């Protein structure tokens, strides 16, 4: 067996920790560099498709995830102006049987903690904070990683999991700032007792409207209630985890049904995000350096696959290194070749679904008729290519 590699992972988010866990379990010596003063995640919910639960099983994390996740009764979409049900897909039963894994939702803090705890329990993984990667240089023997404070680290490989504004990406792809979508997301989380019974739903329920939508679902086994309101706006070029303007939000949803407006009034403080992505690229590797997650393929939230695709990246990266442990550059090429079409398809399909959710006029009527006139699971089944997940046996065919 070839000797273990030394690997630096830039970024301690979900994707970076997933990569560290996979590589550490393979016996590689991994150092995770997180630029913040502490490892942590934002207080918001995320959805987890069956493809992601497949990865949890491979990583031995299913029990830990199940302990903190919520498994919704269905996926639904209502018209925000009329209240009519556009479509509802019951979950469990046939849908679970079709993919072999459930559909769940989870607090970002909780899933991050699952990966963080697993990394802490792995002797081959070292976790560092206040360590921002600025640049790298490589030669035939390895890569030198330069940190913001002047320190440098030497390793066999560098994985850039440093997010949407990745410094590592700029050295490889060089495509500048992300693409601003013109969509703004407001996020909030309520305790269960703060949500009246008539406003509560055990579904992941999306209220679609003209250039707006609201989605809500329970978290932490029903202890919390997550809300995400999205609308179109060109007021902001960037913004992340800043306070939102409640008056502006209420104005955008002024034509919504009373149930939606009443729910929005329950929130006193919203956190705002400007939604951005990038164009899909075919190459995100440079010799001994590669990208992962949002650093490689940032996507809009409309398919709820950002974290999931990062976790898939981590597993596939590990498989590529198994095949070519002594040739890092070759492994990274295999990894991106196995990933770029799938992640690119998710990126572009997410944009399309944003248009569908926010349709107006005739497009809105056609959307409603399309979903209402077909099978109940038509929308879900249309994404079977995504939810079936990665076939590890055919990765490098």
Q: Is the dihedral of CA 13, 14, 16, 22 positive or negative?
A: positive
C-alpha pair distances (Å), 197 with each of 194, 200, 217, 225, 315: 9, 5, 13, 12, 41
- Tokens 């002594």 belong to 326
Reading the block at residue 32, the tokens are 């995770």
CA distance 169 to 341: 18
CA distance 38 to 214: 31
The question of whether 99 is a catalytic residue gets the answer: no
Active-site entry in 101, 107, 186, 217: 217
- Tokens 């018209």 belong to 79
**Residue 257 burial (CB count, 10 A):** 17
State the helix-helix crossing angle for 14-25 and 50-59, rounded to 10 degrees: 40
**Residue 2 burial (CB count, 10 A):** 9
Q: Give catalytic residue positions.
A: 217
């Amino acid at each position: 067996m070839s000797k273990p590699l030394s690997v630096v992972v830039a970024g301690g988010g979900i994707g970076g920790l997933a990569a560290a866990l996979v590589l550490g379990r393979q016996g590689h010596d991994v150092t995770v560099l997180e630029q913040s003063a502490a490892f942590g995640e934002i207080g918001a919910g995320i959805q987890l498709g069956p493809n992601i639960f497949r990865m949890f099983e491979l990583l031995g994390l299913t029990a830990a995830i199940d302990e903190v996740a919520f498994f919704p009764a269905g996926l639904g979409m209502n018209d925000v102006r009329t209240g009519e049900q556009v479509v509802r897909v019951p979950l469990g039963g046939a849908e679970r049987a079709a993919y072999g894994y459930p559909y769940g939702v989870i607090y970002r803090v909780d899933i991050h903690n699952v990966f963080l705890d697993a990394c802490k329990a792995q002797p081959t993984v070292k976790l560092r904070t206040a360590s921002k990667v600025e640049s790298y240089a490589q030669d035939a023997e390895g890569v030198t990683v330069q940190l913001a404070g002047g320190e440098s680290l030497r390793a066999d490989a560098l994985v850039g999991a440093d997010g949407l504004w990745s410094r590592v990406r700029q050295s490889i792809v060089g495509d500048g700032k992300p693409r601003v979508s013109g969509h703004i997301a407001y996020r909030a989380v309520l305790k269960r007792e703060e949500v009246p019974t008539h406003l509560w739903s055990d579904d992941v329920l999306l209220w679609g409207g003209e250039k707006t939508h609201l989605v809500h679902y329970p978290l932490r086994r029903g202890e919390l209630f997550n809300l995400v309101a999205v609308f179109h706006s060109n007021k902001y070029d960037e913004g992340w985890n800043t306070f939102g303007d409640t008056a502006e939000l209420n104005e955008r949803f002024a034509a919504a049904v009373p149930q939606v407006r009443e729910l929005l009034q329950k929130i006193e403080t919203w956190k705002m995000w400007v939604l951005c992505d990038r164009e899909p690229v075919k190459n995100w590797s440079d010799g001994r350096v590669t990208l992962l997650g949002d650093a490689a393929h940032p996507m809009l939230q409309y398919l709820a696959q950002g974290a999931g695709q990062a976790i898939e990246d981590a597993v596939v990266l590990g498989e590529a290194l198994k095949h070519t442990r002594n040739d890092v550059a070759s492994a990274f090429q295999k990894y991106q070749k196995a990933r770029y079409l799938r992640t690119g398809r998710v990126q572009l399909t997410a944009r399309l679904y944003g248009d569908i959710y926010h349709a107006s006029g005739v497009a809105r009527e056609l959307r409603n008729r399309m979903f209402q006139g077909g099978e109940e699971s038509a929308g879900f089944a249309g994404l079977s290519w995504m939810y079936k997940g990665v076939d590890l046996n055919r990765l490098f065919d």
